Structure 1
Amino acid sequence: MLFWIFDAAVPVAALLLALAIDRWCGEPPARWHPVVWMGRALGWCGARVAPAQATGRDLWSFWLATITWCVLAAMVFLLAAALQWAAMDRLPAWGAALVLGLLLKPLLAWRMLRTEVLAVEAALGESLAAGRARLAWLVSRDVQQLDATAVRESAIESLAENLSDSVVAPLFWFVLLGLPGAALYRFANTADAMWGYPGMRGGRYWQWAGKWAARADDVLSWLPARLTALLLWLAARGGVRFGALHVQARATPSPNGGWPMGAMALALGVRLAKPGVYALNATGRAARAADTRRAVDLASKSIAALIPFALAALVSIAIVRAHV
């Protein structure tokens, strides 16, 4: 009996629908956005688990933040699991696919990322000050000391890193664990963005309180980051040498960010650097305006390459489950 057809058809349709909604509609209003809700919960809890001043070895803050993270993560995972179960169990296949697609969409964000990166380039065409101001929407680093080339490099770096964080990783975990997997990943990534700092941020000290959030995101992003680098290699038609990529990936403090950023730098043939921290493809040329568009095109092709792999994986998982 081909019961696996139903099991595969619903998530396949949901994934395609989520990507279609993202392309044509973009992000839902903030009041309906689950990632915004996660951020608000993390912000409220963070103000209570992280100290207001620098401390030494602070195991109390570490364990308090760790337990808080686990409780919030469990709530996100269980709520997503309940919604998925209700859709799959109570609705016909087309209804289940529609509901899952609508719920999955806010957990990925390609259109917004693409728009923001191109907006930085457009603003940079007006003035350096405008480019810096627009870049500040994308990155957490201090942008006031960046020249035009550094602004462009930062935008391309953010595109590459967030291609993994905002598109590839949510879809990767959706394929493996369904809606709960995608929701858990988005929570972990949001927690890292808000808590995973080695010092002061937002009036709180995160050296110890943010350790678990940072490490959890590293673990959940490990495979997706490398998959993103592979997809960029495919998009560049093999123009990235893996030996060179491995060297570049090790140049960043993050165990994951260097993979998509290094792949992008090598594919474009440009230098991407964070002043005083790292330089990827250091012998590459300075990034030009056309490279921003090329980077967006490479990212788009990477997503297009991901889709057939994701669909094939969903079908394969359904067949395996049907025979277990």
Structure 2
Amino acid sequence: MGLTALAAVGLAATLDAAFAEPPSRVHPIALFGRVVGAVEREWTRPRAVGVAVAVVLPLAVAAVAWGVVTGAGVLGGSGGVTPVATAVVAGLALFSLTSLRMLVAVASEVVDAAERDADAARESAIALVGRDTSSLSAAEIRSAAVESAAENLADGLVAPLLAFAIGAQGSVAVGVAAAAWVKGVNTLDSMLGYPDRPVGTASARLDDAVMWVPARVSAVLLAVAAGSPRSLVDARRWVRVPASPNSGWPMATAAAALGVRLEKSGAYTLNSDAALPSLDEARRGVRAVAVAGALAFLLAGAAVAVARVGP
């Protein structure tokens, strides 16, 4: 049944390449985000609530994902097409839990706009970066785009694909549930995991643990995609500069592979002896993210293809 899991990965990759994202009105993560939004308010005991949220919400979204894929297999079994039904529903679910084309498209748009119209680039960058863009120069905008593309490669693609590949060793439904759980944890962190929001402390710590491996796998993929294995060695000098225990790996690897400085004012500077990325260097950085993402899909497919898994 490894072919069923492989078909799910292939369908997710194909849908991502063709459509980038499901429509927002039916996007499961957008719906999950609305639930998380209800938590963003004052609580008498915010840390206790935060622990409950970090435990319950990702498990809930994982349970729903498992139920949908399992139900598709049961219904498909009545028509004798269990593997096909499972592969299609799992592929649709995995498509909604991963993102590559949208990430690359937005990063490319920001990089190109920085050269033509800095104001437009600052506006576009809001959808990509977690910082105030109002005073960024064109070079700083390019730096922000490359940093965010590298970091989001780990969060938005490698982490859920890795979870699927591991979970699918048991069954396709478990693989999708694992990917949904990881995506739930990451979404909680992105919405609540800020120092001024005690309700998000548990989510942030859980995300740190969950992203430890995906961040480092992403760094390897970026080094391969950029044709610069040496960058993994060079990046080790800067991986601990950002406050996050994980984001420094893909970002520092990108800085080393491109030979550029990546910088968030007041927070970190990676490869400080180099210059901020030029237009061509930033474009190369975004292309490396695209290639690394394609490699992630291929490796996930290879991992599940050899597994003897159930539906």
Give the TM-score normalised by the residue count of structure 1: 0.87
Distance 1:306 1:197 in 2: 29
Q: Which residue, 31, 36, 39 being the options, matches 1:42?
A: 36
Letter in 1 for 2:203: A
- Which letter does structure 2 place at the counterpart of 1:174? F
Paired letter, 1:291:
E
| Alignment correspondent of 2:164 | 174
Residues 265, 195 of structure 1: alpha-carbon distance in 2 compared, 3 angstrom cutoff:
same
Q: Who is 2:64 aligned against?
A: 79
- Go from structure 1 to structure 2 and tell me whether the alpha carbon gap of 1:305 and 1:292 turns closer, same or farther (over 3 Å shift): same
1:215-226 matches, cutoff 5 A: 215-226=205-216
Are 2:258 and 2:281, in contact at CA under 8 Å, matched by a contact in 1? yes
2:15 pairs with 18, 21, 31, which one? 21
Question: Is residue 259 from structure 1 mapped to residue 249 from structure 2 by the alignment?
Answer: yes
1:69 and 2:54 aligned: yes
* Paired residue secondary structure (1:273): strand
- The count of corresponding residues between Structure 1 and Structure 2 is 298
Q: Which residue of 1 aligns with 2:89?
A: 99
Asked if the contact 1:234–1:305 (Cα under 8 Å) also holds between the matched residues in 2, the reply is no
Partners of 1:68 and 1:15 lie apart in 2 by 29
Aligned partners of 1:191 and 1:304: how far apart in 2?
A: 26
- What pairs up with 1:1-324 in 2 under 5 angstroms? 6=1, 8-47=2-41, 49=43, 60-91=45-76, 92=81, 93-177=83-167, 178-199=175-196, 206=197, 208-318=198-308
In the superposition, relative to structure 1, how do residues 67 and 193 fare at CA in structure 2: closer, same or farther (>3 Å)?
same
Shift in alpha-carbon separation, 1:72–1:307, aligned structure 2, 3 A: closer
Change (3 A) 1:285 1:127: same
SS of equivalent residue, structure 1 residue 166: helix
Query: Residue 290 of structure 2 aligns to which amino acid in structure 1?
Result: S
Secondary structure class of the residue paired with 2:263: strand
Equivalent position amino acid for 2:65 in 1: A
Paired AA for residue 195 in structure 1: L
Deviation at 1:301, TM superposition (A): 1.8
Q: C-alpha separation between the residues in 2 aligned to 1:23 and 1:312?
A: 19
Q: CA RMSD in A?
A: 1.6
- 1:47-86 deviations in Å (ceiling 9; x for gaps): 254x7xxxxxxxx210112112322122111111111222
Question: Kindly, what percent of the aligned residue pairs are identical?
Answer: 35
Local SS of the residue matching 2:275: coil
Equivalent pair of 2:8/2:88 in contact (CA under 8 Å): yes
Greater shift, 133-142 or 33-42, is seen at 133-142
Would you say the 8 A contact 1:78–1:180 is kept in 2? Answer: yes
CA-CA distance at 1:239 after TM superposition: 4.0
Q: Is the CA contact 1:160–1:261 (under 8 Å) kept in the aligned structure 2?
A: yes
3-state SS, counterpart of residue 205 of structure 2: helix
Partner of 1:57: none
Hey, what's the Cα distance between the residues in 1 that align with 2:26 and 2:119? Answer: 33
For 1:177-209, what per-residue CA distance to the aligned partner results, in whole angstroms no more than 9, with x for missing partners?
21011111111111111100002xxxxxx0x21
Partner residue in 2 for 1:54:
none
Gap regions ≥5 residues in structure 2: 168-174
Please report how far the alpha carbon of residue 309 of structure 1 lies from its aligned counterpart in structure 2 after TM superposition. 2.4
**Structure 1: segments with no counterpart, 5+ residues:** 1-5, 52-59, 200-205
Structure 2 distance, partners of 1:144, 1:218, is 29
* Cα 1:241–1:287 shift into 2, 3 Å: closer
CA distance in 1, matches of 2:132, 2:65: 36
Which whole-Å CA distance do the structure 2 matches of 1:314 and 1:284 have between them?
41
Residues of 2 paired with 1:240 and 1:88: CA distance? 46
